[in-house]
Structure 1
Amino acid sequence: MSSRHLVDPQLLPLLETIPPLNLSAQSLPAMRARPVMFQVNPKDLEATEQEIRTVPGPAGAPDVEVLVYRPRGAAGPLPCILHIHGGGYVAGDARGNEATHRSMVADLGCAIVSVNYRLAPETVFPGAVEDCYAALAWIMGEASALGFDPARVGVMGESAGGGLAAALALLARDRGEHALAFQHLIYPMIDDRTCVAAEPHPYVGEFVWTPQANRFGWTSLLGQAPGGPDVSPYAAAARASDLSRLPPTYIATGALDLFVEENLEYARRLIRAGVPTELHVYPGAFHGFQWAAQSDVARQAARDTRAALKKGLA
């Protein structure tokens, strides 16, 4: 059933620029090669600085590249966001978020560390989340030298990055080595069981990230078909049986996003577990709707996310 009539009219022009996605092993290289869509604002470039670092990777695995952004000339200790990029677990690169990261650093007066984790299917679970944990461990271990405040470190991600952020929050809680100040999840990809739902939502997933792409992404990450009984919560956070003692959580999603029901259910369970949770659902919005940056709904989402981050970083 088509959902086009439910799309916010201001988002319709964006759909005309997005080619249909038929994700497969054959089409994946082309997806990874897509150019970055956004240019850095010259004012943000002047106000911020970037450093590329390599940090110790998980045991027996390669080191991990991170991009560190901070306000130019800022005196520490700074609050810090560990950012995890999206891309369905199979694509994306931290460099693709430079424009957003520099803008956020300039606006929020914080540092951002963005991690280039290993992608699937070349690296299956738990490679990506362990890379993210290695980046968190480096931030906390080197906080004094970096000029960061370890009590004000939160994690943020969009789509698969939101899924990894949620998984990282669970992993950090369970290992008990590092405490996160918050988790900030933008339409997070957190439940492989959406691929095998008995009654799929009839009005979601038509645009940008489709059920076919979702199945490919989860199969690539897990190294097996999604929906089975033995999937780890550190791969699919919605699989966690206990959501207590997680950090304050922000979840934002679109009403037409394939992930809307798994995101709503995760928010419900977090609230029931006593976790302070802020939830936003944007009507008429599909996966990646923020790319229509001048639309009213994208502007509202940007205001909401900045306000929540300011609160979390404080």
Structure 2
Amino acid sequence: MTTTRSAVALGVLAGLTAAVVRRARTISAVAPELRQPDLWLPLSIGSRLELAVGRRTFGARVTEPVAGVTVTRSDVPGGQDVFGYEPAERTGGALLWIHGGGTVLGRPEGDSELCSRMARDLGIVVVNARYRLAPEHPFPAALDDLLAALRDLHARAAELGVDPARIAVGGASAGGGLAAAVAQRATDEGVPVAFQLLVHPMLDDRTVLRRGTPGRGRLVWTPRSNRWAWTAYLGHEPRADERRPYAAPARRLDLSGLPPAWIGVGDLDLFHDEDVAYARRLEAAGVPVDLHVERGMYHAAELELQTTVASMKAFQQRVFAALGAAVGSRAA
């Protein structure tokens, strides 16, 4: 009995040691300034229980708006509520911003600081939209809410001092993927969109079906989380055949006629390959696109490090500069 217990203990210790070694190897690929202690935690979402925990932690995140911006909340006909951020001086541009969270968690209040800073620094009106989350509300619930928010922004353009020809859509992670879907559907339905700002966007459910690229997708947003989130959003496991338009933006065959785009992603991000492929397809279809790949960056690293790490501050400045050039008159 003692020998058996010793063997089990040695086996457990060997397994833990191997896991630590693998994690150390993964973190060694991260840019030195981005190596945070929490990267050692193997966090992911793969069950309702883990989703509930995520919603109480990351999903409950709230940030405060910066000074110099008027913040309002309003209900959208046929949609959810939105937060508006109006700068004292306006350029006439606007952005519909969509928060991330894998389509399964998060809320607009978490991006109040970012949205208000965009409004203040670029002189644009930013509308930060709420949308229904999966799995309680699978596709197309979120997209319907966001199209309603975009239509409402156009309807209120005059009172907001916004030029309807200078309205962009944008988001990060799942919000970036939803922004790409909004741009596609808006184009098909004749709702003007001037620009799409796609920050490490979640674009392609088929990534779940492909063998992963070594070194990518091991931090923050993992293949396990990706499979669970896409299954929740689609209402079924990702599969080779998905016929519903806009369900996964990367599945659209004809990308011609879509708005100009900026796409930024880290080279350690699970979404790297699908984002680069989408950028190349946009370019091949004649859509102006600016692609930035950040070396040594894992998924959403800029979320917490944009004010303390020079490379993440520069990454965020690229986001602001692209948006400012597209619909504002000045960049941060």
Q: TM-score, normalising length from structure 1?
A: 0.92
Letter paired with 1:172? A
5+ residue gaps, structure 2: 1-21
1:106 CA displacement: 1.1
Which protein has the bigger helix share?
A: 2
Structure 2 vs 1, CA of residues 16 and 202 (structure 1 numbering), >3 Å: closer, same or farther? closer
- Percent identity between the two aligned chains: 40
Runs of 4+ that moved beyond 3 A: 14-19, 35-41
Partner of residue 282 from structure 1, selected from 291, 294, 315: 294
- Give the 3-state SS of the residue equivalent to 1:7 in structure 2: coil
* Partner residue in 1 for 2:230: 218
Query: How far apart, CA to CA, are the structure 1 residues paired with 2:168 and 2:216?
Result: 30
1:261 paired residue among 256, 273, 284: 273
| RMSD after superposition | 1.7
Cα offsets for 1:154-196 (capped at 9, x unmatched): 00100000000000111011112x1111000001001000001
CA distance in 1, matches of 2:284, 2:174: 24
Change (3 A) 1:17 1:144: farther
Structure with larger Rg: 2
- What is residue 252 of structure 1 aligned with on the other side? 264
Q: Conserved in 1, the CA contact under 8 Å of 2:125 and 2:160?
A: no
Contact 1:48 1:102 in 2 (8 A): yes
Report the more deviating stretch, 244-253 or 147-156: 147-156
Letter in 2 for 1:82: L
Cα distance 1:19–1:106, how it changes in 2: closer, same or farther (>3 A)? farther
State the distance in 2 between where 1:308 and 1:69 align. Answer: 19
User: What is the distance in 2 between the residues matched to 1:51 and 1:77?
Assistant: 19
Is residue 14–residue 292 contact of structure 1 (8 Å, CA) maintained in 2?
A: no
Structure 2 residue aligned with 1:40: 64
Structure-2 change in CA distance of 1:17 and 1:143 (3 Å) = farther
Identify the residue that residue 98 of structure 2 maps to in structure 1.
Answer: 84
Among residues 64, 70, 76, which one is paired with 2:80 in the alignment? 64
Q: Is 2:181 the counterpart of 1:159? A: no
**Amino acid aligned to 2:281:** R
Tell me: CA distance 1:295–1:18, structure 2 relative to 1, closer, same or farther (3 Å).
Answer: farther
8 Å Cα contact 2:30/2:297 also seen in 1: yes
Deviation at 1:19, TM superposition (A): 6.1
Structure 1: runs of 5 or more not aligned: 58-62
What is the total number of aligned residue pairs between the two structures?
Answer: 302
**1:235-276 Cα distance to aligned partner (Å, 9 max, x none):** 110000000001110000000000000000000000000000
CA 1:287/1:269 → structure 2, altered by over 3 Å: closer, same or farther? same
TM-score when normalising by structure 2: 0.87
